[in-house]
Chain A
Amino acid sequence: MTIPATWEPLHDADPVLTIAQDLFSTMIDGEPGHLYPWVGERPSLEDPRFTWVDVAGPVVTRVMLMAGRVTGEHLTRSLLEMDESEPVSDADFADAIGEMANVVGGNVKSLVTNPGALTLPVVTHEEPDMSKDFCLLETYFGWRGAPLGVGLWALTR
């Protein structure tokens, strides 16, 4: 059986960078220019969190954000317009970062052929096992000097 999916748009990080920069400039920073491609080796994330949504279809596409907890807290405060000193609850963290994954996922969905429904976001501390899945793209951005990853996978399960 031939799976009617076109991945070409996703092999280039530019569409994902555009989606992420739109998200950051409109809803997080209020102006463009604060999210940029990460230059150099793949960064390590301190106390990482993994947040994803899946796009159902003939091939399930996973859109995953990867960020350190502290970076995620900064993002949550920006989205909720909280003071820098305010503590971030796990619920607000999961809601805010989950919604970011949802927005990126929804926009990525428009790039794949024959997409199905978008799942609700999942946030974990442990990296999900995707060793048997096909990585379409993994790219990192810098935001306020901290790394932030975005990955796209075609799931084989």
Chain B
Amino acid sequence: MKVVVADDSRVMRQIVIRTLRQAGYDWWEIEEASDGADALEKIRASEPDFVLSDWNMPEMTGIELLDALRKEGNETPFAFVTSEGSPAMRHQAERAGALFLIAKPFTADVFRETIEPFIG
């Protein structure tokens, strides 16, 4: 399974990937993207099965990335890992077509429990 992890923080990308492995997704083939624009290019090129994205990024935010994908008819399953988990943002994410939103900080258990129902 090909997955794109987008975050402008290299540290956070590393933590997200490490947490995915701890949650049992060590078989996922992960491609990293350093912001929304970079992710958009990589998603177009590699056609991943799933996208896990930060929200607040330079160049193109996570929600702008999701909007851009949906506008061009790309329905790749998409979810957020972000420091902001307010009800308003969760609602905005859901309305834009995101599967779920995981708020930072997180644990491997949270990853497993949240991801499993969608990406079994």
Contacts and interface: CB of A to CB of B under 8 A. Distances in A.
Question: Do A and B belong to a common assembly?
Answer: yes
Contacts of B85: 106-107, 110
B83 interface: yes
Contacts of B105: 22-23, 26-27, 103
Contacts of B104: 23, 27, 102-103, 106
Q: How large is the interface on B (under 10, 10 to 19, 20 to 34, 35 or more residues)?
A: 20 to 34
B11 A120 contact: no
B92 interface: no
Interface residues of A, number: 24
B36 to A, nearest CB: 13
Contacts, number: 59
A72 B102 CA distance: 26
Interface string A102-123: 1101110110000101101000
A150 interface: no
Interface of A: 22-23, 26-27, 76, 79-81, 92, 95-96, 98-99, 102-103, 105-107, 109-110, 115, 117-118, 120
Interface of B: 8-12, 14-15, 18, 56, 58, 82-86, 103-107
